[in-house]
């Protein structure tokens, strides 16, 4: 799958480069980087005794080419990598005299490659709105730890970890400002739908991400 991703990204960039040569001043390459907060949409588990930390720092790096299609509109292709932070769930229980403490902790960290298209409309006052969508190849790294602490005996610890890869999608919208023809700053919201295949079955979920994104065009 990594080979397929590499070929797809390469093909998109070759196509963009060829079109750029033909279009001359009608487009530009771009690279942008964003940082913000991700939230895993997995529901609430407080009624089950679990404490859920479903928010974490997220980051994204994208590059591509955008064509000017007239009347303030740009259309482009993009590829890149996103890190969506980590989801942590923890459960702690103990008996009345605290002689036995039971602890469960599970975490999932998601990241992956993106390949898709984008569009932007720029107003005459340099403000713009944008949208993007495409393919998201996600990797979810998970770990689980179970521990029992005894006041008068040796502790018991069990640990497991694994990962799952799969193909999903992403989509998002944004608003921003062009400080110059080459530099802009924007606020984006993106939703990533990740999927994974394991021996126990298929898993999927949504992660929403707010980012502040700086872009340079050349």
Domains, in order of start, for the chain: 2-217 (2.40.160.20)
CA distance 94 to 92: 7
CA distance 171 to 152: 54
Q: How confident is the model at residue 52 (pLDDT cuts 50, 70, 90)?
A: confident
User: What's the rounded mean pLDDT across residues 37-62?
Assistant: 81
- Hey, what are 58's tokens? 């997220």
User: What's the rounded mean pLDDT across residues 44-69?
Assistant: 84
- Give the single-character DSSP code of 25: G
Q: Decide if pLDDT at 69 tops 70.
A: yes
Share of the chain above pLDDT 70, in %: 81
CA distance 183 to 30: 10
pTM for the model = 0.78
**pLDDT score recorded for residue 199:** 54
DSSP string, 133-162: EEEEEEEEEEEEEEEEEETTS--EEEEEEE
CA distance 13 to 29: 10
Q: Which residue has the higher pLDDT, 124 or 45?
A: 124
Out of 68-72, 93-97, 161-165, 194-198, the most confident range is 68-72
Please report, for residues 65, 107, 109, 140, the alpha-carbon distance to residue 91 in angstroms, rounded to integers and kept in the order given.
47, 12, 18, 21
């Amino acid at each position: 799958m990594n080979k397929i991703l590499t070929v797809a990204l390469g093909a998109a960039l070759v196509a963009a480069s060829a079109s750029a040569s033909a279009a001359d001043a009608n487009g530009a390459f771009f690279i942008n980087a964003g940082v913000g907060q991700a939230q895993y949409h997995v529901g609430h588990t407080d009624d089950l005794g679990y404490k859920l930390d479903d928010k974490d720092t997220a980051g994204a790096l994208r590059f591509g080419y955008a064509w000017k299609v007239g009347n303030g509109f740009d259309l482009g292709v993009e590829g890149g990598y996103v890190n969506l932070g980590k989801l942590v769930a923890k459960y702690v229980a103990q008996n009345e005299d605290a002689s036995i403490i039971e602890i469960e902790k599970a975490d999932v960290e998601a990241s992956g490659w993106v390949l898709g298209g984008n569009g932007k409309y720029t107003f005459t006052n340099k403000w713009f709105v944008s949208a993007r969508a495409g393919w998201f190849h996600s990797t979810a790294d998970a770990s689980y730890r179970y521990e029992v602490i005894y006041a008068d005996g040796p502790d018991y610890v069990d640990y497991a970890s694994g990962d799952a890869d799969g193909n999903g999608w992403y989509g998002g919208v944004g608003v921003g400002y062009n400080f110059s023809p080459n530099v802009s700053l924007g606020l984006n919201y993106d939703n990533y739908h990740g999927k994974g295949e394991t021996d126990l079955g298929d898993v999927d979920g949504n992660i929403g991400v707010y980012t502040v994104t700086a872009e340079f065009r050349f």
